[in-house]
Chains A and B, each alone.
Chain A
Amino acid sequence: MIGFMQAVASGIAVGSSYALMGLAMVIIYKTSEVVNFAQGEMALLSCFLTYMALEFYGFSFLAAFAGALAFAAFLGGFLEFAVLRRAKEPNVLGMIIITIGLEMILLGIVSWKFGADPKTMPFPVSPYDSVAIGEVFVSSLEVLTFIVALTVMAVLFLFLRYSKLGVAMKATQQNTVAARLMGIRTNRILMITWGISSVVGCLAGLLISPITMQPYMMWDPMLKGFAAAVMGGMTSLPGSVFGAYLIGIIENLFGSYVSIEFKSVVAFAIIVLVLCIKPSGLFARHYVKKV
């Protein structure tokens, strides 16, 4: 029983970082229907710059992390403005290919600048201290990640539902032309969306970095976050968070009771299953585009 409880707790713990990445991907998808494969590497660059600020320039945690989030917002907006907006006759597939290109460029920059030796980010909360609930252990960093993931989800949910900017974002996704006719500056909305998404991704990265940092560290969380988002329906914020926790828990239970060798691929098997049974994802409202 303790083994089962531990597996569930571990699943929730690991699901939090997937959830943050999933949320970041959903925000962009909600507005532009583009799956941003550069999401992980955008966070990566911000995290490595934060590492540099902390390790080499002696910045305080507060200044470094605030700077990281500000930089992430700028980077997201800049990439949308300078690269994606410049695409000629853009279609969704072309945009996705651009994001893959950006992913490779950002990865290349980080590998070139920071080298390949693994690093670890100084962080006020230790990834190796734990909170014990009876015989079940969860690390302090995982508790923090859990709180951050749920808070970000709630804030984004409220923001998109009740704020003027959030509603404008939704309108931009549903019908860009109509939104523009209503006076919404859709280009600006897209830029802001990329900025917000980049900040959420950066939060995920900052919470992963205290364990180990290396240029490929965001690839797995990004893929799992994407898987969670697909499972949740790609447009639903709570859906992607739910999907992330589900993947985390199933992975851990599968690893504990069935096969530890196939633990990592089980997430993708679940997606295939979900997409076969409910192609629009578990939480998506069926949305039909009218001609």
Chain B
Amino acid sequence: MKMKRILVVAAVVGMVFGISLGAGAEQGVTDTEIHIGQWGPQTGPAAPWGSVARGTGDYFKMINAEGGIHGRKLVYHMFDDGYNPAKTKAGVKELQESIGMFAYTGGVGTACGLSVVDYLMERKIPWVGPSAGSLHWIEPPHKYLFAVYPLYYIEAKALCRYAIKNLGTKRIAIAYQNDDYGKNGVKGAAEELASHGLKLVAEIPVEKSDTDMKPHVMKLKQAKADAVLLWVTPIHAVRLVGTGHAMRFAPQWLSTSTCSDFPLMYKISKGLWGGVIAATFGEMPDAKDPLLMKYKKDAYGKFAAKGERWGLFYYAGIIFSEPLIEGIKRCGRDLTRERLVKEMEGIKNFKGIGGRISYAPLDLAEPYKSRQGMKEVFLVKCLKDGKYEKLTDWMEIK
């Protein structure tokens, strides 16, 4: 009896001791593993952007195949949220409270990200490279949130600047998705035009459920726009350009990076995407960049699922995660969230397959400098068969 009591006490003490030991270690990191999470729409209307999360997965597999990072393998947890913020939140909570992620990377959708940003930040969980160029990630800046995707806002500025200076356009309009994504474009365009003493000649909202674009095109036509910015989904962009063609309205179409996967856009628009100018944040799929070629060979070539396409969205999943991997590498064996933040803040002019990335210690007065990693984009023009012509070099927009 006495023996039994001792055993029970020993077990309880052991459990308490064990738990306290566990609590001392960093969540999501063991001697051999680092757990990283991501959500991405594999089904639903935004599923074409689902390849972002798959790209990250294949990139992590490549790193593991090359020996991992300082003796640890990356364990990747990706779930399908169907571009539905409620599902994003439920999925992140489940991952965090069952397995416990060390950090998150990527994650398509402004609204999806917004649904979990408070949850992650309150728990001091690092999140690197949200897959949306929203101002929300840096306004206000968060200690544990590092944005990579150049702001839609600066893409709009870059496109307007190019249209005014290089194309001599004065009458610029925008067709924008009626949500945060689209409105970021409107804001950037309006600011850039104001600095040239101009105004948007039309701001046409597009609802995600809209399928008939004639009223939108009619309004653009009535506004006599010479150039039209497209801040919508790829399908809406194709419909707008197609309807414009049918209604004999042929402005210079200017598009955000979300529609800069030219081979895809050229095909689904039956060739009408030719001539469209887009901002982009990653090297072209066929660029001779040695790192891009290595990823194509070792991540995509060896690990991509059958039928996966080597397109911008796919390797955007790599671009958004590269700084996280760099930060983890810089931590060495001593991998904690606080150390990661410190190392991330030390990243300066890091060059992966996107634009240069720099962060700085958190400064509430300088959110753009301290937490917006990539600040440059370049412009490309779609040619026949979805080929690219680089119009500008990387442009840093202040």
Q: A: which residues have CB within 8 A of B? A: 3, 6-7, 10, 13-14, 111, 115-120, 126-130, 132, 137-139, 211-212, 214-216, 220-221, 248, 251-252, 255-256, 260-261, 263-264
Quote the shortest CB–CB distance from A232 to chain B (angstroms).
20
Whether B209 pairs with A220 at a CB distance below 8 angstroms is yes
Whether B272 pairs with A128 at a CB distance below 8 angstroms is yes
Whether A261 pairs with B235 at a CB distance below 8 angstroms is no
Whether B178 pairs with A261 at a CB distance below 8 angstroms is yes
Whether B50 pairs with A260 at a CB distance below 8 angstroms is no
Interface size class of B (residues with CB under 8 A): 35 or more
Whether B238 pairs with A255 at a CB distance below 8 angstroms is no
Inter-chain CA distance A7–B216, complex, in Å, is 11
**Chain B residues within 8 Å of A118, by CB:** 48, 234-235, 238, 264, 268
Whether A211 pairs with B239 at a CB distance below 8 angstroms is yes
Whether B246 pairs with A127 at a CB distance below 8 angstroms is yes
**Chain A residues within 8 Å of B234, by CB:** 118
Q: B: which residues have CB within 8 A of A? A: 41-45, 47-48, 50, 178, 204-205, 207, 209-212, 214-216, 218-219, 222, 234-235, 238-239, 242-243, 245-248, 264, 267-270, 272, 307, 309
Quote the shortest CB–CB distance from A113 to chain B (angstroms).
10
Inter-chain CA distance A119–B307, complex, in Å, is 14
**Chain B residues within 8 Å of A132, by CB:** 248
Residue from A111, A128, A132 with most neighbouring chain B CB atoms (10 Å): A128
Whether A214 pairs with B235 at a CB distance below 8 angstroms is yes
Whether B50 pairs with A116 at a CB distance below 8 angstroms is yes
**Chain A residues within 8 Å of B268, by CB:** 118-120, 212
Whether B215 pairs with A256 at a CB distance below 8 angstroms is yes
Quote the shortest CB–CB distance from B163 to chain A (angstroms).
23
Can you identify 17 A-B contacts, CB atoms within 8 angstroms? A3-B218, A6-B218, A13-B214, A111-B43, A111-B47, A115-B47, A116-B47, A117-B48, A118-B235, A130-B247, A137-B246, A214-B235, A260-B204, A261-B178, A263-B207, A263-B215, A264-B209
* Nearest opposing residue in chain A for B49, CB measure: A116
Whether B239 pairs with A3 at a CB distance below 8 angstroms is no
* Nearest opposing residue in chain B for A140, CB measure: B246
- Given the known interface contacts A117-B48, A132-B248, the answer about A252 and B43 at a Cβ–Cβ threshold of 8 Å is no
Quote the shortest CB–CB distance from A199 to chain B (angstroms).
23
Inter-chain CA distance A128–B213, complex, in Å, is 12
**Chain B residues within 8 Å of A139, by CB:** 243, 246
Whether B235 pairs with A212 at a CB distance below 8 angstroms is yes
Inter-chain CA distance A76–B309, complex, in Å, is 34
**Chain A residues within 8 Å of B214, by CB:** 6-7, 10, 13-14, 252
Quote the shortest CB–CB distance from B379 to chain A (angstroms).
23
**Chain B residues within 8 Å of A120, by CB:** 267-270
**Chain A residues within 8 Å of B272, by CB:** 128
Whether B215 pairs with A220 at a CB distance below 8 angstroms is no
Q: A115-B47, A252-B212, A260-B219 are in contact. List 8 more A-B contacts (CB 8 A).
A: A6-B214, A111-B47, A118-B268, A126-B270, A211-B238, A214-B45, A256-B219, A263-B215
Whether A137 pairs with B248 at a CB distance below 8 angstroms is yes
Q: Which of B178, B209, B239, B245 contacts A212 (CB 8 A)?
A: B239
Whether B210 pairs with A263 at a CB distance below 8 angstroms is yes
**Chain A residues within 8 Å of B248, by CB:** 130, 132, 137
Inter-chain CA distance A91–B267, complex, in Å, is 46
Quote the shortest CB–CB distance from B27 to chain A (angstroms).
33
- Given the known interface contacts A212-B238, A260-B204, the answer about A129 and B215 at a Cβ–Cβ threshold of 8 Å is no
- Given the known interface contacts A3-B222, A6-B214, the answer about A116 and B264 at a Cβ–Cβ threshold of 8 Å is no
* Nearest opposing residue in chain A for B216, CB measure: A260
Q: Which of B205, B209, B246 contacts A260 (CB 8 A)?
A: B205
Inter-chain CA distance A116–B40, complex, in Å, is 12
Q: Which of A13, A211, A261 contacts B205 (CB 8 A)?
A: A261
Whether A256 pairs with B218 at a CB distance below 8 angstroms is yes
**Chain B residues within 8 Å of A264, by CB:** 207, 209-210
Quote the shortest CB–CB distance from B285 to chain A (angstroms).
15
**Chain A residues within 8 Å of B41, by CB:** 116
Whether A251 pairs with B219 at a CB distance below 8 angstroms is no
Inter-chain CA distance A221–B210, complex, in Å, is 11
**Chain B residues within 8 Å of A111, by CB:** 43, 47
**Chain B residues within 8 Å of A128, by CB:** 242-243, 245-246, 270, 272
**Chain A residues within 8 Å of B205, by CB:** 260-261
Inter-chain CA distance A214–B44, complex, in Å, is 9
Whether B207 pairs with A129 at a CB distance below 8 angstroms is no
Inter-chain CA distance A119–B250, complex, in Å, is 23
Whether B238 pairs with A7 at a CB distance below 8 angstroms is no
Whether A137 pairs with B247 at a CB distance below 8 angstroms is yes
